[in-house]
Amino acid sequence: MEAAELVEQALGLSAMEGTTEASRRRIAGVFCDAGEIVPFSDNEPLIKMGGIGGDAGYVLLRGRAVIEREGEAPIMVSAPALLGEMSQWNPRAVRVASVTCRGAGEALRFSWREAHARAQDLLDPADQARLMEAVERIALQRFQREDLLDLPLLRGLPDELRLRICILLQWVAHPLELAAGAPLFEADALCDDTGYLILQGEIAVSRSGEAPHVVAAPDLIGIHPQFDPELRWRASAHALTPVEALRFAWRVFLSLLDKRMIAGERKRFQAIIHAAADDEQLAK
């Protein structure tokens, strides 16, 4: 069986309503094009607990692997299976689980960042939504609270909604790196509906006549729940340290998220971001 078919099975695409064979192949092709097939041997680690995970994901094509967390029973996974799904939203995070091969086999190793970029370029909105749903379903089966980005904005939300938000941000955001001292934005510049998710490092936010406020990763800067083309930054921001961030458009993010929330979740999240925008007051 070829790699594309195994990727389809690993993502459970055939069980998704309305998914044609052509659609399944396009989605599987995203991972095949972004990755390479690598052999592994018995007891070879794919992901190490306590290490910095990077953004590598794996589709186990042949063989078995065991997922182990401290204080929990091991989970044995047989091919085909998606592994490393939690690596996609915070490449700098310390991994809280290990994945170790059991016996010889093969895996498709890919970059989540590259897979997201290819999905945005090659898939139509319907297929992107199917892929997000497939990854979300797998992640929900395995995730732990400590896997998620601890964003102050999301504290208090149900874990499943937090997971959905973290996954969706990867599909609408663009990576950004700043050297220490580099500006993120300047006061009075148009901000449109741009938001920033700070993944690594610290940002100093400075308003005229006030002491700078330091924002440390992980956190959001620029909360704009309502679009205004004339919106301008009230403050300037620059990197205090080397910074890794994701830049995204709130209109795109909220439009996609709205389709994936039920009424109660939608009302709760809207109240949270409006309150956060009022508290932040970075735009005028």
pLDDT digits (tens, 9 = 90+) for 193-213: 899 989 889 999 998 888 899
CATH code at position 176: 2.60.120.10
243 contacts 268 by C-beta, under 8 angstroms: no
Mean pLDDT of the chain: 84
Looking at the DSSP bridge assignments, the partners of residue 111 are 56
Residue 227 placed within a domain: yes
Q: What is the pLDDT of residues 67-124, one digit of tens each?
A: 888 878 888 999 999 888 766 655 556 677 789 999 999 999 998 888 888 888 889 8
Confidence of residue 284 (pLDDT cuts 50, 70, 90): low
Q: Looking at the structure, do residues 15 and 140 belong to the same domain, yes or no?
A: yes
Q: Looking at the structure, do residues 211 and 99 belong to the same domain, yes or no?
A: no
Query: 25: domain range?
Result: 3-147
Q: Looking at the structure, do residues 121 and 241 belong to the same domain, yes or no?
A: no
85 contacts 142 by C-beta, under 8 angstroms: yes
Confidence of residue 149 (pLDDT cuts 50, 70, 90): low
Q: Residue 237: how many CA atoms within 13 Å on its side-chain side?
A: 23
The segment with the largest mean pLDDT, out of 95-109, 174-188, 216-230, is 174-188
Whole-angstrom distance between the N-terminal and C-terminal Cα of the chain? 57
Q: Among 47-51, 213-217, 235-239, 252-256, whose mean pLDDT is lowest? A: 47-51
Distance of alpha carbon 177 from alpha carbon 245, whole angstroms: 6
